[in-house]
Amino acid sequence: MSAIRVLIADDHPVFRFGLRMVLLAEDDLELAGEAENGRAAVELAHELRPDVALLDIDMPELDGIAATEQIARESPGTGILILTMLEDDASVLAALRAGARGYIVKGSGSAEIARAIRGVAAGEAILGPSVAATVLSALHPPAHPPARPFPDLTRREYEVLQLLAQGQSNSVIADRLFVSEKTVRNHLSLIFDKLGVSSRAEAIVLAHRSGVE
């Protein structure tokens, strides 16, 4: 079985050296070439046709996102793995939308980087632990609670209306909300005015029809 050929693109020579050491330590991984900026990465990917392009995002001339987009379009046989310091939502999602198959952060161990390279070469989607949560959140955003009926009512007025809809008397409402009955009557007067009703019965019917519980 032939080795997985990897193109490294990072503008820091010391970090590129470290990645070379990672590849040299693995029998099934091979260095195909190195680039110190995004534009060179695109050119080398087109020329060398590596199995995997390992790209940083923050690079001169052409950033890793733009380089990813070009390599994905011009060299579709090359799987792209982002290896970067950035783990903010915008960077992660932009890279994946541009065509990256994997995204891990610098600080990952040698074994994790090697596994990620193998996974991307095999066509898998590879996400580091801190990145996976971002992607899952984007795919399944938290549901927003439905807007409550009668948004013109204050929170306290809505609480009074809820208790009224439950058939509670003014004295019970006052006890539940720790206010005086006079305050309850004042709230009801304002509620009736805002709802356009003139009696408790009308307010209760309208509340039930609107889903107030």
Going from N- to C-terminal start, the domains of the chain cover: 4-139, 155-209
| pLDDT attached to residue 192 | 93
Q: Which CATH architecture has domain 4-139?
A: 3-Layer(aba) Sandwich (3.40)
Residue 94, by phi and psi: left (phi above 0), alpha (psi -120 to 50) or beta? alpha
* Distance from C-alpha of 30 to C-alpha of 172, rounded to nearest angstrom: 78
Q: What is the pLDDT of residue 65?
A: 93
Q: Which residues of 179-204 are buried (b: 16+ CB within 10 A; e: fewer)?
A: eeeebbeebbebbbeebebeeeeebb
Q: Which residues contact 75 (CB under 8 A, 6 or more apart)?
A: 45, 46, 49, 53
Tell me the per-residue pLDDT of 17-58, one tens digit each, with 9 for 90 and over: 999 999 999 999 999 999 999 999 999 999 999 999 999 999
Residues above pLDDT 70, as percent of the chain: 93
Under a CB-based contact definition with an 8 Å cutoff, are residues 7 and 48 in contact? yes
According to the model, what pLDDT value does residue 48 have?
96
Q: How confident is the model at residue 2 (pLDDT cuts 50, 70, 90)?
A: confident
Q: Tell me the pTM.
A: 0.64
- pLDDT confidence of residue 143: 61
For every residue of 85-151, which 3-state class applies, written as one string? CCCCHHHHHHHHHHCCCEEEECCCCHHHHHHHHHHHHCCCCEECHHHHHHHHHHHCCCCCCCCCCCC
The predicted-structure confidence for 102-155, as pLDDT tens digits, reads as follows 999 988 889 999 999 999 999 998 988 777 766 766 666 656 666 788 888 988
In tens, the pLDDT along 74-110 reads 999 999 999 998 887 778 888 988 999 999 998 888 9
pLDDT of residue 10: 95
**pLDDT at residue 81, as a whole number:** 97
In terms of phi and psi (left: phi > 0; alpha: psi -120 to 50; beta: otherwise), the region of 31 is: beta
Report the 10 Å Cβ neighbour count for 169. 13
**CA 200 to CA 192: how far, in whole Å?**
8
CATH class of 155-209: mainly alpha
Q: Is 165 within 8 Å of 212 (Cβ atoms)? A: yes
Instruction: Give the span between the Cα atoms of 88 and 99, in whole angstroms.
Output: 17
